[in-house]
Structure 1
């Protein structure tokens, strides 16, 4: 709701500028790095692009505009298209379940006696 308020325009621009400083070598890495800062591994599996399977639709979130603006404000990805960013965001959310479970699985014990 904060992002949708017109009176919060300057704060919104500061958030976009801050997110745009997140690095990456290409559109995919910049998009994934920004999404990784916006959503935790616990929240991201509850979101997908369209909102199917009782998940929240990222395509209708105000955060989507933040992502697109931040990717385009980044010097490396200035010429990124909506289609490119969308493609990488969809894939990032598709892999969210794997990221969430991978971190919960304990590493195998390597005890020496």
Structure 2
């Protein structure tokens, strides 16, 4: 027969775990309610939706040539502003998710594997692109991420680029190559 202290200890552990999970669920629910309230206030405001009437058929960019063409298009301030507005409306659950969604909308995974932040190892340097400034401006303009800094956006962009090799089955392909070696 199990002694009373063991039962009490197990019950306390269970109670603490349950309380922690409930606290986490309530915190996430608060975030969702706050985001919902912001969305509702945006929709109910008398401001018209921004004009984002651009042709986005070239997005996501698939090759370095497309990236060069996009950089040339971003010289036009009107195009740049419309792209920022378009990307800022993508949304996301939090700042990281919003930036990841923007990056996915702008760069294909194939091009992302050929890019990194500084351009090391012959890759395209994302830090020197105007597209980086557009992503930062769009993330800062996103109504769901009001307390975001440019430094945080850069950190999320770097992480998204770092994870490019693992997306779309890249991790499994590398695992198979290691097994065959």
Q: TM-score, normalised by structure 2?
A: 0.53
Q: After TM superposition, list the pairs within 5 Å mapping 1:36-51 onto structure 2.
A: 36-51=104-119
Using structure 1 for the length normalisation, give the TM-score: 0.83
Alpha-carbon displacement from aligned partner over 1:27-56 (angstroms, at most 9, x marks no partner): 100000000000011111001011101111
The answer for the alignment partner of 2:68 in structure 1 is none
| Equivalent in the alignment of 1:16 | 84
| 8 Å Cα contact 1:72/1:78 also seen in 2 | yes
Q: Aligned residue for 1:59?
A: 127
SS for the counterpart of 1:95 is helix
Q: Which runs of 5+ in 1 are unaligned?
A: 106-113
Task: Mark the structure with the bigger radius of gyration.
Answer: 2
Provide the alpha-carbon RMSD of the alignment.
Answer: 1.7
Structure with bigger RCO (C-alpha 8 Å, 6+ apart): 1
Question: Normalized per residue, which structure has more helix?
Answer: 2
2:96 match: 28
Q: Distance in 2 between matches of 1:93 and 1:84?
A: 14
The one of 119, 127, 137 aligned to 1:69: 137
